[in-house]
Copies of this chain bind each other. A is one copy, B any other.
Amino acid sequence: MEYSKQYTKHTRVELTSLVAAQMSDKRFQHVLRVETKALELAEKYHVDLEKASIAALTHDYAKERPDEEMIAIIMNSEIDNEIIRYGNNIWHGVVGSRLVLKELGISNQDILNAIESHTTGRSNMSELEKVIYVADYIEEGRNFPVVEEARKIAEVSLDEAVAFETKHTLLYLINNQNKIYPKTLETYNAWVVK
């Protein structure tokens, strides 16, 4: 894929190299699968393909930064410090959007929002944000009990896929007695409630 718009100064190949340098090969392969799925969803749901590619490639940019660095970035930013209690799973999207802006020079707000909200969702998600949120959940490497059902739903409705993912993520967290970040509940109340 050739980027022709101005969302990044890099070619796609350069961007993949920059991303690969930030993470294990295992995670990088996941990132590439998220991109494949995001492009598929973007095409189906008429979302800008370049934005989908860039957001997918950069969504986990911060995931392997050391905890201390993540915490320092949060403490030195306008991000609510409350987030510190919730761990890397919640930090990496929020910190990632800041690092992608600062280190990669990507400043399109929709792309940055898609990075920021990819784990928790939020009440007002753009179509791009939904594509990244869902692609991350159903990329071909994923293998959990309801993933096939999630993939089928994503073929017919992006909004229903967001709702299904949010509901099952919450059920999973509760059944495992894991902490739940309030933003995830916001997404649930906005997208899942009948």
Contact = CB atoms under 8 A, between A and B. Distances in A.
Interface of A: 167, 170-171, 174-175, 177-180, 182, 185, 188-189, 192-194
A5 to B, nearest CB: 38
Secondary structure of the A side of the interface? helix
23 contacts: A167-B174, A167-B177, A170-B170, A170-B174, A171-B171, A171-B174, A171-B175, A174-B174, A174-B188, A174-B192, A177-B192, A177-B193, A177-B194, A178-B193, A178-B194, A179-B189, A179-B193, A180-B185, A180-B188, A180-B189, A182-B182, A182-B185, A185-B185
A170 to B, nearest CB: 5
Nearest to A86: B189
A193 to B, nearest CB: 5
A106 B136 CA distance: 53
